[in-house]
Amino acid sequence: MEQPLSRLESFRFADVEGLVELARLRYRELLEIEKPVILLCDRDPAQFLAGFVAACSVPCQVFLCNPDWGETEWQQVLELVKPNLFWGTSEVAETLESPLNPPQVGDFDFSRQKLAMKTLIMIPTGGTSGKIRFAMHTWDTLSASVQGFRQYFEIESINSLCVLPLYHVSGLMQFMRSFLTGGTFITQSWKTLETQFDPQDFFISLVPTQLQQLMPYCDWLARFKTILLGGAPAWSDLLQQARSQNLPIAPTYGMTETASQIATLKPADFLSGIQGCGCVLPHAEITIVDQKLSIQAKSLMLGYYPNLLTESKFAPDDLGYFDDRGFLHLLGRDSNKIISGGENIFPLEVEAAVRSTNLVQDIYVLGTPDPIWGQSVTAIFVPSDEAITIDQLKAALRSRLTAFKQPKRWIKVAQIPRTAQGKIQPDRIEAILK
Question: What is the CATH number for 299?
Answer: 3.40.50.12780
Q: How far is CA 222 from the centre of its chain?
A: 23
For residues 232 and 422, is the Cβ–Cβ distance under 8 A?
yes
341 and 324 fall within a common domain: no
Does the residue 68 lie in any domain?
A: yes
The pLDDT value given to residue 71: 82
> Between β-strands 260-264 and 279-280, what pairing exists: parallel, antiparallel or unpaired?
antiparallel
One domain, residues 80 and 177: no
349 domain-assigned: yes
**pLDDT score for 180:** 95
Q: Note whether 213 and 318 are same-domain residues.
A: yes
Q: Rounded to whole angstroms, how far apart are CA atoms 3 and 142?
A: 14
Q: What is the pLDDT of residue 127?
A: 47
Tens digit of pLDDT at every position of the chain (434 positions)? 567 888 887 787 777 778 889 999 999 999 988 889 999 999 999 999 999 999 999 999 999 999 888 888 888 898 899 888 999 887 666 666 555 554 443 344 544 444 556 899 999 997 445 688 999 999 999 999 999 999 999 999 999 999 999 999 999 999 999 999 999 999 998 888 888 889 999 999 998 888 988 999 999 999 999 999 998 778 888 899 999 999 999 999 999 999 999 999 999 999 999 999 999 999 999 999 999 999 999 999 999 999 999 888 999 999 999 999 999 999 888 888 898 888 889 898 899 889 889 899 999 999 999 888 889 999 999 999 999 999 999 999 998 888 899 999 999 999 998 876 677 888 889 889 97
Amino acid code (one letter) for 273: G
Contact 73, 132 (CB under 8 A): yes
Residues 208 and 319 in one domain: yes
Cβ atoms of 64 and 37 within 8 Å: the answer is no
Residues 396 and 322 in one domain: no
Cβ neighbours of residue 319 closer than 8 Å, sequence gap 6 or more: 291, 292, 293, 330, 331, 332, 333, 334, 337, 346
Q: Are residues 152 and 166 in the same domain?
A: yes
Helix ranges, 32-80 (H): 45-55, 71-80
The domain that holds 388 is classified in CATH as 3.30.300.30
Q: Based on the fold, state whether residues 223 and 320 are members of the same structural domain.
A: yes
Q: Are 168 and 191 in contact (CB under 8 A)?
A: no
Q: What dihedral do alpha carbons 19, 24, 25, 28 form, nearest 10°?
A: 160
Q: What is the greatest pairwise CA distance in the chain?
A: 68
Closest CA to 421 of 214, 190, 221: 190
Count helices and strands in the chain by DSSP H and E runs: 14, 23
In a domain, 247, yes or no: yes
Domain count, the chain: 3
Q: Are 238 and 353 within one domain? A: no
Tell me the residue range of the domain where 202 lies. Answer: 140-334
In a domain, 104, yes or no: yes
Q: What's residue 288's pLDDT?
A: 97
HSE toward the beta carbon, residue 369, CA cutoff 13 A: 4
173 plus 307 within the same structural domain: yes
Residue 317 lies in a domain: yes
Residues 70 and 203 in one domain: no
387: in domain: yes
* pLDDT value of position 128: 44
Task: Examine the domain organization and report whether 82 and 192 are in the same domain.
Answer: no
Q: Is 123 domain-assigned?
A: no
Same-domain pairing of 313 and 190:
yes
Tell me if 102 is assigned to some domain. Answer: yes
pTM of the complete model: 0.85
